[in-house]
Amino acid sequence: MFLAWKELKHNKTRFVMIAVIFVLISWLVFVLSGLGNGLSTLAASTFKTMKADYVVFEQGSKASMSKSLLSNELTAKLTEMPNVSAVSPMGTIMASAINENGAANEDKVDIAIIGIDPGSFLEPSIIEGVGLTTENMTKVIVNKTMKEKGFHLGDTFKLDGSTESLTIAGFVQNQTYNHVSAVFIPITEWRKLAFAAPGSDKGVTEPVNAIMLQGKDIDPKAINEELAGTETVTRAAAVQGMPGYKEENGTIMMMLAFLLTISAFVLGVFFYVFTMQKTNQFGIMKAIGAKNGFLGKAVVSQVFVLSLSSIIVGIILTYATAAFMPKGMPFMLETKLVLTYSIILLVISLLSSLVSVRTISKIDPLQALGRVE
């Protein structure tokens, strides 16, 4: 630490230059991961926060809600399956809402209508207003981002291309589906909206898109064998099955992976060049009795100090960026995520400094004598 610190203080400019690069890298890593996290939340937060463990789809639907159609009669059968503690059906459609009250807000708003059984475990907790009831089927609960679009508690809105009107009974939070606000309605009302065209239910009695299961030790294979034409997957697999989710997430993850790989090389090369420049000094110190461990520790602790401070600055910059981002930007940083990427960056830089440590161990103290005969 002694050598590391003294050198940092003496050669400020050169270390500040590396730190700037490292800060930019970590900043980019955090911003990208925040964006990725925000996007995937927007795409599937309803699914992710749902208290379901497994999802039953129609066979061949590839775990996609929009491709799957099942009969609600299965619900009763599923309840009797081993390890299943609760069962509830669900259906989704995409729609547009037109606010009837607000004269200035005639713009249509994209929404995802999610049909559930009122009072079931699929119903999210209300932050304002009241929950779904079986009495009034047109009372719905909506994500609170609808407020920003001019929708208030008690407002009635029409659905584009439909004669149905829905009334906002309550607000929920963090419920988005397919990047748009989720609107929860009783599943019987959902059926009316989803299968308005005759024959669109393909003759299935009480059609639903999927059936959600609760239960820790459910065996998906047993259910598939027992109930013909079904496909049971974990909730995580159902999230992956959402249209565009994998592609969207994959793009961000690939960028992150490349960024981390590149940063490993960039930092590694920097530290290596630094060490090479100091070959003579290290040789002198070895000649007067310094062991490899002493010099190696100096290099690694220097890299550690440099990386840690750069990462901290990067985190501060990221939060500052987040404060200035436009409201609609899907940016979401979680402490856990920030911590994970900080540790990854730190490990990468320490690993890349090991190359330099190896170089040091090969330096011959004879060089310090200035000439080797």
Partner 1 sequence: MTKGLQITGASKYYNEGMNRIPALDNVSINVQTGEFVAVVGPSGSGKSTFLSVAGALLKATEGEVILNGQDISKLSGNQLSDIRLREIGFIMQASNLVPYLNVLDQLLVVKRMSGKVTAADKAFAVKLLEELGLGAKLKSYPEELSGGEKQRTAIARALINDPHVILADEPTASLDTKRAHEVVSLIAHEVRTRHKAAIMVTHDDRMLTYCDKVYRMEDGKLSLVPAGRLV
The single residue among 93, 193, 252, 284 that binds partner 1, judged by CB under 8 A, is 284
Residue 76 CB-density burial (10 A; 0-12 exposed, 13-18 middle, 19+ buried): exposed
Q: Work out whether 323 is an interface residue with partner 1 (CB under 8 A).
A: no
Q: Work out whether 370 is an interface residue with partner 1 (CB under 8 A).
A: yes
| Size of interface with partner 1, in residues (CB under 8 A) | 25
In order of 31, 42, 76, 103, the CA distances from 90 in angstroms are: 34, 19, 14, 34
In the complex, least distance from residue 298 CB atom to partner 1, rounded to whole angstroms? 10
In the complex, least distance from residue 1 CB atom to partner 1, rounded to whole angstroms? 9
Q: Work out whether 12 is an interface residue with partner 1 (CB under 8 A).
A: no
Q: Which is nearer to partner 1, 313 or 368 (CB)?
A: 368
Distance of CA 214 to the CA centre of its chain: 23
Q: Select from 9-17, 151-159, 161-169, 312-320 the region that touches partner 1 (CB under 8 A).
A: 9-17
In the complex, least distance from residue 4 CB atom to partner 1, rounded to whole angstroms? 10
Q: Which is nearer to partner 1, 15 or 30 (CB)?
A: 15
The single residue among 103, 104, 288, 323 that binds partner 1, judged by CB under 8 A, is 288
Residue 318, H or E segment:
helix 292-324
Contact 100, 165 (CB under 8 A): yes
Contact 262, 269 (CB under 8 A): no
Helix pair 279-287, 245-277: axis angle to 10 deg:
60
The single residue among 43, 159, 285, 303 that binds partner 1, judged by CB under 8 A, is 285
Q: Which is nearer to partner 1, 290 or 317 (CB)?
A: 290
Residues 6+ apart with CB under 8 A from 221: none
DSSP bridge pairs for 156: 167
Q: Work out whether 336 is an interface residue with partner 1 (CB under 8 A).
A: no
Q: Work out whether 366 is an interface residue with partner 1 (CB under 8 A).
A: yes
Q: Work out whether 222 is an interface residue with partner 1 (CB under 8 A).
A: no
Q: Which is nearer to partner 1, 235 or 278 (CB)?
A: 278
Q: Work out whether 13 is an interface residue with partner 1 (CB under 8 A).
A: no
3-state secondary structure of 290: coil
In order of 1, 70, 277, 310, the CA distances from 306 in angstroms are: 12, 57, 18, 6
Q: Select from 31-39, 127-135, 214-222, 360-368 the region that touches partner 1 (CB under 8 A).
A: 360-368
In the complex, least distance from residue 292 CB atom to partner 1, rounded to whole angstroms? 8
Q: Work out whether 362 is an interface residue with partner 1 (CB under 8 A).
A: no
Q: Work out whether 11 is an interface residue with partner 1 (CB under 8 A).
A: yes
Strand ranges (DSSP E) for the chain?
54-58, 70-71, 86-99, 108-116, 128-129, 139-143, 156-159, 165-172, 176-177, 180-186, 207-208, 210-214, 230-234
Q: Select from 5-13, 36-44, 117-125, 196-204 the region that touches partner 1 (CB under 8 A).
A: 5-13
The single residue among 223, 286, 296, 300 that binds partner 1, judged by CB under 8 A, is 286
Q: Which is nearer to partner 1, 43 or 357 (CB)?
A: 357
Q: What tokens were used for 33?
A: 């991961």
Q: Work out whether 290 is an interface residue with partner 1 (CB under 8 A).
A: yes
Q: Select from 4-12, 27-35, 128-136, 232-240 the region that touches partner 1 (CB under 8 A).
A: 4-12
CA distance 266 to 269: 5
In the complex, least distance from residue 145 CB atom to partner 1, rounded to whole angstroms? 55
Q: Work out whether 281 is an interface residue with partner 1 (CB under 8 A).
A: yes
- Read out DSSP for 58-117? ETTSTT-GGG--EETHHHHHHHTSTT--EEEEEEEEEEEEEESS-SS--SEEEEEEEEE-
Sign of CA dihedral 69, 75, 80, 81: positive
List residues binding partner 1 (CB under 8 A).
Answer: 2-3, 6-7, 9-11, 281, 284-291, 294, 365-366, 368-373
